[in-house]
Amino acid sequence: MVTHEIICAGFGGQGVMLIGQLLAYGGMIEGKEVTWFPSYGPEMRGGTANCSVVISAQPIGSPVVAEPDGLIAMNGPSLVRFKGAVKPGGVIVYNSSLVAEAPELQGVRICAVPANELARELGNDKIGNMVVLGAFLGLTKAVTVASIEAALQQVLPARRHHLIPLNSAALRKGLSLVEG
Amino acid sequence: MERVMMKGNEALAEGAIRAGCRYFFGYPITPQNEIPEYMARRMPEVGGVFLQAESEVSAINMVYGAGGAGARVLTSSSSPGISLKQEGISYLAGAQVPCVIVNVARGGPGLGGLNPSQADYFQATKGGGHGDYRLLVYAPGNAQEMVDLIGLAFDKAEAYRNPVMILTDAIMGQMMEPVVLPPLRTVAPDQPWATTGKRGRSKPNIINSLGLVGEDLERINRELQAKYARMAASEVRYEADGVEEADLVVVAYGTTSRVARSAIARLRQEKKKVGLLRPITLWPFPQQILAELATAGKRFLVVEMSAGQLVEDVILGVNDREKVAFFGKLNGTVPTVREVYDRIRSLLSEGGEG
C-alpha cells in the first residue's frame, strides 16, 4: 500500500480539522498506521486552520506533511498556500464556491467541488466539508467511505449522532461527483 | 488489542492515571494544556485530585508534599513554566522525593514562542536547578511511548526515590496517534520512608534536603552519586535501527527522530546505508553504544531543534569530534524531511559513498 500524506486546510469553522481526524480514524479502523497533526497556537476565529494526516501500512516517520500527495482546500488562501507543495501525481480537491479561478498545475489532478451550493442542496450549510471529503476519497482511495462512516461514530459526540445520516449523504454526494 | 486515537498530551495523562497516579498539580501553559484539561475531567472519575495551583512554583511544592506522603504525583508544564519549577525540582532531588514532571517543550529563551523545540535538553539532563543532582529523563518517540514511558516513569521514580522527567515537545503533544492502553493500576501510597505518621515506629520519618551539620552534606551527596551510578548502569534505553550495517548513523530523539526516520526511509530506497540511533533515556545517555559504533568506524549526524545540546553528549560518547556532524533548527520550526535527506546525502558524498 502507498503512504497517503494529506493536508486539509480552510477557514476556522469549515470543519477542516474534523475531516482530517475522520481520515485518521478511518485509517485506524482499517488497521493502518495513522497520524493527525493540527496547526495550533495563537490561531484566531475566522483565520486559516490546517492539519496534516498520514495514513500508511508502515510505521510513520514525520507527522508534519511538507509535500502532500493529497490536498483538501476549503478556501482560496489555503489553495494558494499549499497548492505548490503538492507532489507530482497528487490530488487537489478544492471548494470552488469560494475560489473564483481554477488553479493550473502540471502533473496534479485537480477537482473543483462547489461545496457551499451542494451543502445547501443537502439542507445544511455546514456539511460542505463532507462533500469535499467524499470527492477526495473517490479520487485517492485513502480510506473507504464506510470507514469514514464508522469513524463518525467515534469522533462525533453521542448528542450529534443523529447527524450521521446527513454526513453519509454528503460523503456519497461528493463521491458521485468523481465516480462519473 | 483495541487501539484508540489520542493526542500525545492526552496519552500522557491517561498513561499516568493507568499507572496509578492520583494527584495532579499544575498551572496552564500552551502547548501542554490538554494534560490539565484531561486531568480535570478524569481525576474525579478515579477518585483522584486535580488542582490548578496559583503558579508553577506552588504546583511543584504541592508535588513535594504529595510525593513526600508516598503518593504517585504528576505535574506538567512547558519550558518557561518548567524554569519556574527548577528550585522545587532541586529540592525534590535533594530530599529524594519520587514524582514525575512533564515538559512539553516550546521555543525559548524567555517567553519564546509556541512552536516545538528541543532547546531544554541541557536543562533536563544537566541540572536546571542548583546542586549535583540528576533526573531520569525519558524522551517518547510516539503516542504509545507517551503511555508506556510515563507508566515506567512512576515505577522508576519510586524504585530510586528520584524525580523523573518526561521531555517531549509541542508536536509530540499535539499530534494524534492510535495507542493501546494498559489496564488501570491502583497503587496504594504506602512507602516505608513516607511522612505519614509514626504508626508505631519509634523514630519519625524525615524528608529534608538540608545538610548543615558537619559532613552531612558530603555524605548525602555521596549517597546521591551512588544512586545516580546505579541508574546510569541499569536504566539506559535506546532504539537502534540499522546501525550495524550503516555508514552514517543519525542520532535524534522525539520529533526530530521521526523526521529523520522518514529521510532515512527515502535513502534506503536508494541503497544508502544509513541508521538511526534514538535515545529513549536522555539521562542516563546511551554512551556505550555510541562508543562501540565509533570504534566500528561509523560517522554520525545529530539532528535536533536547538543550537546544539544533544550533540555534546554524542561527541562525549563518540569521543571524536571529527566524526560528528550537526544539523539544528533554531527558529521554532521543524526540520523538513527534505532538509535532513539533503544533509545526509551531502555527508555521504563527502565521505566518498555518495
Query: With contacts defined as CB-CB under 8 Å, which chain A residues touch B31?
Result: 40-41
For position A43, what pLDDT does the model report? Answer: 65
Q: How many helices (H) and strands (E) does chain A have?
A: 6, 6
Q: Grid coordinates 534506503 are at which residue?
A: B268
Amino acid present at B323: K
Q: Cβ–Cβ of B337/A66 closer than 8 Å? A: yes
> By C-alpha distance, which of A3, A8, A30 is closest to A135?
A8
Residue B343 is given by DSSP the state H
Q: Where are the alpha helices (DSSP H) in chain B?
A: 8-18, 34-45, 56-68, 79-84, 86-94, 121-125, 143-160, 170-174, 216-234, 254-269, 287-295, 310-318, 337-350
**Mean pLDDT, residues A108-114 taken together:** 97
Q: Is B336 on the interface with A (CB under 8 A)?
A: yes
CB of B93 closer than 8 Å to CB of B156: no
CATH architecture of B238-350: 3-Layer(aba) Sandwich (3.40)
Q: Which of B113, B170, B262 sits opposite A61 (nearest CB)?
A: B262
Tell me the per-residue pLDDT of A125-174, one tens digit each, with 9 for 90 and over: 999 999 999 999 999 999 999 999 999 999 999 999 999 999 999 999 99
Query: With contacts defined as CB-CB under 8 Å, which chain A residues touch B178?
Result: 28, 33-34
Query: With contacts defined as CB-CB under 8 Å, which chain A residues touch B104?
Result: none
Query: With contacts defined as CB-CB under 8 Å, which chain A residues touch B176?
Result: 21, 24, 35-37
**pLDDT (tens digit, 0 to 9) for every residue of chain B, 354 residues total?**
799 999 999 999 999 999 999 999 999 999 999 999 999 999 999 999 999 999 999 999 999 999 999 999 999 999 999 999 999 999 999 999 999 999 999 999 999 999 999 999 999 999 899 999 999 999 999 999 999 999 999 999 999 999 999 999 999 999 999 999 999 998 877 899 999 998 888 899 999 998 888 788 999 999 999 999 999 999 999 999 999 999 999 999 999 999 999 999 999 999 999 999 999 999 999 999 999 999 999 999 999 999 999 999 999 999 999 999 999 999 778 999 999 999 999 999 987 554
Query: With contacts defined as CB-CB under 8 Å, which chain A residues touch B263?
Result: 61
Are B4-199+208-234 and B238-350 the same fold in CATH? yes
Query: With contacts defined as CB-CB under 8 Å, which chain B residues touch A63?
Result: 171, 175, 177, 258
Q: Is B170 on the interface with A (CB under 8 A)?
A: yes
Q: Cβ–Cβ of B258/A60 closer than 8 Å? A: yes
Kindly state the cell numbers that stand for B163. 524525580
Amino acid present at A168: S
Tell me the per-residue pLDDT of A29-76, one tens digit each, with 9 for 90 and over: 999 999 999 987 666 667 789 999 999 999 999 999 999 999 999 999
CA dihedral B284, B288, B293, B299 (to 10 degrees): 50
Q: Is B219 on the interface with A (CB under 8 A)?
A: no
CB of B349 closer than 8 Å to CB of B342: no
Alpha-carbon gap, residue B175 to B171, rounded angstroms: 6
**Sheet with B99-105: strands ordered across:** B49-52, B23-26, B73-77, B99-105, B163-169, B136-138, B281-283
CB of B274 closer than 8 Å to CB of B344: yes
**What are the boundaries of each domain within chain B?**
4-199+208-234, 238-350
For position B214, what pLDDT does the model report? Answer: 74
For position B354, what pLDDT does the model report? Answer: 44
Kindly state the cell numbers that stand for B91. 529540592
Chain B closest CA to A62's CA: distance in Å?
A: 4
Q: Cβ–Cβ of A36/B5 closer than 8 Å? A: yes
CATH architecture of B4-199+208-234: 3-Layer(aba) Sandwich (3.40)
Domains of chain A from N-terminus onward: 4-178 (3.40.920.10)
Alpha-carbon gap, residue A71 to A82, rounded angstroms: 8
Q: Is B178 on the interface with A (CB under 8 A)?
A: yes
Tell me the per-residue pLDDT of B104-149, one tens digit each, with 9 for 90 and over: 999 999 999 999 999 999 999 998 999 999 999 999 999 999 999 9
Q: Which of A37, A58, A66 sits opposite B175 (nearest CB)?
A: A37
Q: Is B232 on the interface with A (CB under 8 A)?
A: no
Alpha carbons within 13 angstroms on the beta-carbon side of residue B243 total 23
Using beta carbons and an 8 Å cutoff, which residues of A are at the interface with B?
21, 24-25, 28, 33-38, 40-42, 58-64, 66-67, 154
Q: Cβ–Cβ of B176/A35 closer than 8 Å? A: yes
For position B352, what pLDDT does the model report? Answer: 58
* Angle between the N-to-C axes of helices B254-269 and B337-350, in degrees from 0 to 180, rounded to the nearest 10: 60
